[in-house]
Structure 1
Amino acid sequence: MSNPVAGASAAIPQKRWVYVIPVAAIMYMLAYLDRNNVAVILPFIDQDGGMTLSVADKGLVTGIFFVGYMVLQIPGAVLAQKWSAKKTVLILMILWGLAAISCGLVNTRGQFLVARFFLGVFEGGVWPAVLVLLASWFPLKERARANALWMACLPISSVIMAPLSGILLDFFSWRAVLMIEGVPPLVWAVVWWFAMSDNPAQARWVSAAERAHVESALAEDEAAKPYVNPKGGYRRALRNSRVWLLILIYFCWMSGFYGFSLWLPTVLKELTGGSPTLVGWLTAIPFGLALGSMIMVSRWSDTRQDRRLAVAVPLLVGAGALVAGQFVHTPAANIVLLCVAAMAIYAPYGPFWAIPAEFLRIEVLAFSMGLINALGNLGGFLGPYAVGYLKEATGSDLIGYLFLAGLLALAALVTLRALRTGATAPSEPVATDSVTS
């Protein structure tokens, strides 16, 4: 991680890697904490506080977040592009911090679902807004690495925060833990306001050489794409078949991703019978390994400029690990397979989110990424809920995890067949009835 821009000219300053990525990564680590801490808390929620949830209810609590999550995807992306990514994220950060605290104030199942829904609403606009921000700082040749280094906040958050949530549960009620962990976003909002800038032209710390390099490289990237009339661009983006293929891929992937991630602590508790602290520490291991896989795969993808294999192969490996885990009954072997699944399921993040910018101009890029993330993340509802429902209906994990593996395999196959080699290259002619005026 010390040389994220290997191969770049040594004459070009690289401060943007040191200033932009860490500030954005810490911000989203806090968002992911407020989304993911419920996974550590749910196995112990019946033991403290008098609120009983069925297995299906627990799946619904994790999944309802993603119904709210899609509400501000497109508005957040468009606001970031047309107004300010910095200000959009700031407002949403404050609102999600308050919503996260409210999750600890609930007394009934219904209140918990409502609080989780609004947490999803306010967090929903952040992801596409930051992707818009990164698109203003990092040219396409650096985009997968920039995406992956920022998105490394996902496994890092789980590595740090899963043990933290487990430790806090040993000393506080689950309600208190949720409220405590809702405060950091409110603090980081101050840092975000003073440290972040929308683009190099607004950042005082950027040298003239680095500013000129970024602006000229981004201009070259845009010049290589077909012109899009902004007035009709959104409608044409909706008619672009590749946008809808990316939505399908992302939906299937996110179903498997969140179905795995949000049930992982519960699976580890069943395997080990451990305390909250032990479960938290064990949960951190797969996500720590996932961090390395994300960076390695994104670096390979930028070097080879092959997004297709960088997405499809890890998803197939993840599907295989989930299936194999259902036929292995040794706890140590199960944990190894869970680690393999985590590494594989996280690995495609950087390459996948580099794909839209390779064939969509900036006029419609934000809208399209918001659309992909909004509809694709509905898989975050399907995956956790399906695992909980199928487990309650069958009394076994088998069918639920076979279902997740099937969705991951489908995402990989669609990637291999539909996003053929070279299909996402910026130089490829694009039909005028799909993305041009």
Structure 2
Amino acid sequence: MTDTGPQPIPQSPPAAPAPPAPPAKRWAYVIPVAAIMYMLAYLDRNNVSVILPYMHGDLRLSNADKGLVGGVFFLGYVFLQIPAAILAQRWSARKTVLLLMVAWGAAASLSGLVRTTSQFYVARFVLGLFEGGVWPAVLILLASWFPLRERARANALWMACLPLSSVLMAPLSGWMLDQGSWRWVLVLQGVPPLVWAVVWWFAVADRPARARWISRAEADHVERAIAADEAAKPPAGGGSYLDAVKQKPVLVLIGVYFFWITGFYGFNLWLPSVIKELTHDGSSTEVGLLTAIPFTVALAVMIANAAWSDRTGRRRQAVAVPLVVGIAALLLGQAVDGALPRMLLLCVTAAAVYAPYGPFWAIPGELLRFEVVAVAMGLINALGNLGGFAGPYLVGRLTDATGSSVTGFAVLSAFLAAAVALVTLGLRPAVRPVRKPARQATEAA
């Protein structure tokens, strides 16, 4: 055998570099701008709950009328859900939200100029019409920025604007009522969305590749992770829009959301009135400050529940368990005496009905591909939010009929129980935990 000389020592291939850490700028740029935007929307939607107890003798509203004022918003809310979702997905979520923001700000200010009850109903309907498309459009935007393993936390941090709006704005609305007419409260609170529209236009991009404030490497990282999520989804999640909305899990989610939102808004609209009773007809500033307490608790619980949901992948439990707690607290609140125990139970109820938001809205993204999830989420939000009409109106009508809010809140508990049953039994075969950790998802891309 011929000696060929010393042989090179085999070298091990260099280790593959670790995937880059998920960029942090998404959380600092996208979430705060979107949260403030929707916080202003939620203010213009819910400020009426603080105003209604102090409108005596102006528009002569009965409890049923007050419930209708709160609920008619959601009749308008239905119409632009799916069109706005499709526009956001096919055209631009950024531009869709901008147009709706300007329109709802103008409608909110004009609602302070009404002269009759019928005009107030129409104004609230129009406000709901323009606000209706914002929710699904922003969910589409977030789906372009946050992979599934982060989706519940991203949703919850954005949706934290709901309780945060009440924490900050209920005292503000109460103070403004002490300074002047409820009409001026509505007119002035419609102005901030018009100002924030400018910030939205310059700060938000539809997807990472179009953002000026992150590096190319960061944008590629996010888009690769989202592409991996899409590739891993089951084939049943694709297909036409009609195929998407005909799937049993989507129909179940509509039912869950309807029953949950009926209880949610029934509680929310009447919370300031209940607190006003506890304070023995306290001032609007005092009621506003006390109303902020349950929503502060709700904010913390909402974020913690979403983080737990992302960590474990247990979406159904993260929706069902808080609602069970809410049912118990809502019923106990009607049975106990004393301002402090009832206030504590109001805090528990508020936390329970807000906690499912992040996990619930992470579920459609796990079931459906991006190209069809827009319509599915628009349909879920549109039909589910009809509960926002049913809840306030039922409580108002039953309070007028019985002279007590006990029956109304018992009915709200029944609606929440129906939501628990549907999410526990109806989604069992379909909702699966997110299985891939961050490293696997990046390598798959």
Tell me the distance in 2 between the aligned counterparts of 1:411 and 1:316. 10
Cα deviations by residue, 1:308-366 (Å, 9 ceiling, x for unpaired): 10000000100110000110121111110000000010000000000000010111100
Report if aligned partners of 1:237, 1:368 keep a CA contact under 8 Å in 2. Answer: yes
Tell me the distance in 1 between the aligned counterparts of 2:61 and 2:165. 26
2:255 to 223, 231, 248: 248
Secondary structure of 1:137 counterpart: coil
Q: Does residue 382 of the first structure (1) align with residue 390 of the second (2)?
A: yes
Tell me the distance in 2 between the aligned counterparts of 1:324 and 1:403. 14
Q: Counterpart of 1:316?
A: 324
Task: Quote the offset at 1:417 in angstroms.
Answer: 1.2
Tell me the distance in 2 between the aligned counterparts of 1:25 and 1:256. 23
Tell me the distance in 1 between the aligned counterparts of 2:425 and 2:290. 37
What is the one-letter code of the residue matched to 2:386? L
1:286 to 284, 287, 294: 294
Does 23-32 or 38-47 show the bigger shift? 38-47
Tell me the distance in 2 between the aligned counterparts of 1:227 and 1:418. 20
- Name which one, 1 or 2, has greater alpha-carbon Rg: 2
Tell me the distance in 2 between the aligned counterparts of 1:41 and 1:342. 20
Q: Counterpart of 1:274?
A: 282
Cα deviations by residue, 1:227-277 (Å, 9 ceiling, x for unpaired): 4798x6111112101001000000000000000011100111111121000
Report if aligned partners of 2:237, 2:368 keep a CA contact under 8 Å in 1. Answer: no
1:210 to 207, 210, 218: 218
Tell me the distance in 1 between the aligned counterparts of 2:403 and 2:431. 44
Q: Counterpart of 2:348?
A: 340
2:99 to 87, 91, 94: 91
Cα deviations by residue, 1:163-209 (Å, 9 ceiling, x for unpaired): 00000000110000000100000000000001110000100111122
Structure 2, unaligned stretches of length 5 or more? 1-17, 436-445
RMSD over aligned CA atoms reads 1.5
How many pairs align? Answer: 417
Q: Does residue 349 of the first structure (1) align with residue 357 of the second (2)?
A: yes
Identity across matched positions, percent = 64
1:196 to 175, 193, 204: 204
Does 411-420 or 112-121 show the bigger shift? 411-420
- State TM-score, norm by structure 2: 0.92
Report if aligned partners of 1:90, 1:189 keep a CA contact under 8 Å in 2. Answer: yes
What is the one-letter code of the residue matched to 1:118? V
Secondary structure of 2:113 counterpart: coil
1:68 to 76, 80, 90: 76
Q: Does residue 13 of the first structure (1) align with residue 23 of the second (2)?
A: yes
Task: Quote the offset at 1:42 in angstroms.
Answer: 0.1
Cα distance, 1:9–1:21 mapped onto 2, change above 3 Å: farther
2:267 to 231, 236, 260: 260
Secondary structure of 1:326 counterpart: helix
Q: Counterpart of 2:37?
A: 27
2:143 to 135, 144, 148: 135
Tell me the distance in 2 between the aligned counterparts of 1:349 and 1:249. 12
- State TM-score, norm by structure 1: 0.93
Task: Quote the offset at 1:422 in angstroms.
Answer: 6.4
Q: Counterpart of 1:396?
A: 404
Q: Counterpart of 1:301?
A: 309
What is the one-letter code of the residue matched to 2:264? F
